[in-house]
Amino acid sequence: MRIVKSLRKCKLNNKGLTLVELICAIAILSLVGTAVVGIVLVATNSYQRSVREIEVQQEAQFAANLIGDLLKDAKEEPTGTNPITIKKGTDVYAIEYKADTRTIWISENGGAKQLMAEHVNGIPTITHARVEGVEVGDNTYTIGINVNRDGAPNGLTVFNSNNARNQEAGSAIAVGEVSATIIGPSEMVLEPNQSRAIECAVVGITDQRINWNLTGNNDDNTVISGSSIFVAGGETSDTLYLTGNTAVTKSDGSPAGSTVIVVHVRRVTDMALTTQILSGSDKMGGAVYRIYANVSGMNLNKMATIETDYLSPYRVNWTYGATINGVETDWNTYFQVLGTHSGDGANENYCDIRLKNNLDVGQKVYVSATAMHPKGKYPGGSNANKSGLQYASISKTFSVEGESHLYNWEPGNFYRGSEYNQGTLEEDTVRQLIRAQYNLPNYEYLVVFKEVRYRERGSATWIPSNNNWILMSEGGNAIRISEDSWIFECDKDYDIEIRFGARTGDGRKYFPTSLPPSAYTITTGLEHAKLRFNVSSDKFNETGIYGYGPQTNPIKMSAGTSLKFNVNPDEKNKQAETGIRWERFNQSLIIKVQRLDGSTWKDVNLKYKQEQGDAEVRVNVDNPSHMAEMDTYDKAFTIYRKGTYRILVGIGSETGGHELKLRVYNEGARRFEDRNNMNYHLWNEATGEAIFYIKVE
């Protein structure tokens, strides 16, 4: 009970600090705070005193060194006290102290006085001296200068002495002169209509004046104004030179210090357009052109060591147009802009366009590129060069004009497994042209033929080789390689040529060479299959994903919900864009699902649900547990576990899809042969094609 009572008594004794205790605590804290503040103040004053001491020591040392240089060459004792006269050869120097300004001045042979030092307390002293432990002669002097800098703490005063020994009698006299160094940039980059301050400092003398001279310019409006340089808009010299000399000179009239700054002038002077046909036939619907704009000029690349405000001079602005018989019309009717690209080197600025239809006689489309650096500003108003002002106008134009052809090409019908004709041929016109060109009699029967050759893009070897061609068909207006289009593997890009001619009954072949080759030869191409999907889920609005969904912006969906996908059957030319008949793609789909485990992608066991509702497990890993299900009928995925996934897509029969065949041309037998069970893994880790990412939450 006593313990309990004691505890209760303690709990009730919550009175806190007394007034005496509080006053004592405040007093202790005050003493500690005062001590801390005192320590900080002492440290601060010590630091400031050290800085001032170094500064005044440098001032005194500099002045003493100048006087010492004169004494080294003197042949007589210095005379006088104020001024002090020192004779060096035939020259007489006077060193004078002005008490009212506390400065030391020097003059040569009675000429203009120049400032030597400031903050000096009294006349410099020059005395004979001997330095203990060092052998010296009678002509050794000690120069003493007392300097006190205004604002130095505690009236800090420094006395600086400098020993100087002059030459022995009869020896050569060394010339001692005032010297200085101009510190500043050795190079700079400027652009037309740009001004820039020349930021330099003079070290070694107090006079900071610099006289600048400009050379190398070929425009009189490129000038120096004060301590700035202005490059005129018409300046075409690639290199200018700025020579700077101190206003203070030596006894011989030369500057005490000098410098040269090299000015690199950046200027765009020209631009060239080059063109490449990426796919399709020139001037025909579906042809894809890449137009390169290569800017040239002076000092265009960034000089990283001296330049922090670089604006690329390689940028261009693209504009588009079309005409019919010279009259402007809506260019959107004739071609589509696929995209533009900007870069800082050769062939890095380009524009891709695709013709929507064949160009007929009188029709012209054009693409213009304007160099933006000479223009000064981009269309949005931001600066294209450093001044933001125009100094030139440089534009180039690429154009394509329609011409007569013996065929009509349908690029939207050309893809692997196409069920349509790829175009039509003016069969009668071909006969008439050949009969007239080769003077063939009317009774000579002519059969119009079509033939094709191809090569894998990047290869120089055509198939067939040795300028042989594969006969497509004879007679009729249709241009058709539909069934034989399976010669083009799904994971490769191809160049293709189709040409037309006529043969006689005895096998002689003729081509209408009175026309340009483009009139009777289709130059086209076929790219590897690029699969286009419609993807939808209850948490992801329907959208088109061309080839892949980026890992940085994955499709998001809930665990257990379905994600549907399919080729978009409504898009114009969609089969030509994907490069394969879409029904065949749906039937022959190869699917590989992977889940991100740490930093490693691991295969996921995929369960396939068939049309009848039963399920079949297709194992692509050893782990028997399934995380995902695929409905092959509805083309839908269901993923049951949260995480980050990716779907890799191919074509073939690997996972139960319909069989894809490849037709291989046998050159010896001159016929096609089927090769079955072809599988194409279209996913590409480097480009991200045929891979799209899903985040299941």
pLDDT band at 343 (very low <50, low <70, confident <90, very high): confident
Q: Is 659 found in the same domain as 538?
A: yes
Q: Is 642 found in the same domain as 577?
A: yes
Last residue of a domain, one of 203, 234, 265: 265
Q: Is 27 found in the same domain as 159?
A: yes
Q: Rounded to the nearest 10 degrees, how much is the dihedral formed by the CA atoms of 379, 385, 387, 389?
A: -50
| Residue 271: pLDDT over 90 | yes
| Residue 329: pLDDT over 70 | yes
- Mention every residue, 6+ apart, whose C-beta is less than 8 A from residue 145: 60, 63, 64, 104, 117, 120, 124, 125, 159, 160
461-465: average pLDDT:
92
Which of 261-270, 281-290, 350-359, 440-449 has the highest average model confidence (pLDDT)? 261-270
| Residue 504: pLDDT over 70 | yes
- Domain range enclosing 623: 532-696
Q: Is 614 found in the same domain as 578?
A: yes
Summarised one tens digit per residue, pLDDT across range 408-449 is 888 778 888 888 888 888 899 999 999 999 999 887 889 999
- pLDDT score of 527: 85
Structure tokens at 311: 């604006």
Summarised one tens digit per residue, pLDDT across range 97-136 is 888 877 888 888 887 777 777 777 777 777 654 444 434 3
Summarised one tens digit per residue, pLDDT across range 166-221 is 444 333 333 346 788 898 899 999 999 999 999 998 888 888 999 999 999 999 99
| Residue 161: pLDDT over 80 | no
| Residue 561: pLDDT over 50 | yes
Residue 582 is assigned to a structural domain of this protein:
yes
CB 322, CB 365: distance < 8 Å? yes
Q: Is 669 found in the same domain as 563?
A: yes
Residue 3 is assigned to a structural domain of this protein:
no
Residue 611 is assigned to a structural domain of this protein:
yes
DSSP 413: G
Summarised one tens digit per residue, pLDDT across range 508-551 is 999 999 888 888 998 888 888 876 555 554 433 333 333 345 57
| Residue 656: pLDDT over 90 | no
Q: Is 619 found in the same domain as 541?
A: yes
Of the candidate ranges 266-270, 570-574, 579-583, 627-631, the one whose mean pLDDT is the lowest: 570-574
Question: How many separate domains does the chain show?
Answer: 5
576-597: average pLDDT:
78
Helices (H) and strands (E) in the chain, counts: 7, 48
Q: Is 235 found in the same domain as 281?
A: no
Last residue of a domain, one of 401, 423, 446: 401
Residue 506 is assigned to a structural domain of this protein:
yes
Q: What is the CATH number of the domain that holds 322?
A: 2.60.40
E-strand stretches of 148-287: 158-165, 181-183, 187-190, 194-197, 201-203, 210-215, 223-225, 228-231, 239-246, 258-265, 267-279
Q: Is 517 found in the same domain as 576?
A: no
Q: Is 438 found in the same domain as 478?
A: yes
- Mention every residue, 6+ apart, whose C-beta is less than 8 A from residue 613: none
Query: How many angstroms separate the CA atoms of 552 and 530, rounded?
Result: 21
Q: Is 623 found in the same domain as 542?
A: yes
- pLDDT score of 575: 72
Residue 248 is assigned to a structural domain of this protein:
yes
Residue 531, CA atoms < 13 Å, CB-side half-sphere: 34
- pLDDT score of 148: 65
Q: Is 375 found in the same domain as 271?
A: yes
| Residue 622: pLDDT over 50 | no
Percent of the chain's residues with pLDDT above 90: 31
Q: Which amino acid does the sequence have at 48?
A: Q
Q: Is 670 found in the same domain as 542?
A: yes
Residue 5 is assigned to a structural domain of this protein:
no
pLDDT band at 559 (very low <50, low <70, confident <90, very high): confident
- pLDDT score of 153: 40
- pLDDT score of 472: 84
- pLDDT score of 173: 31
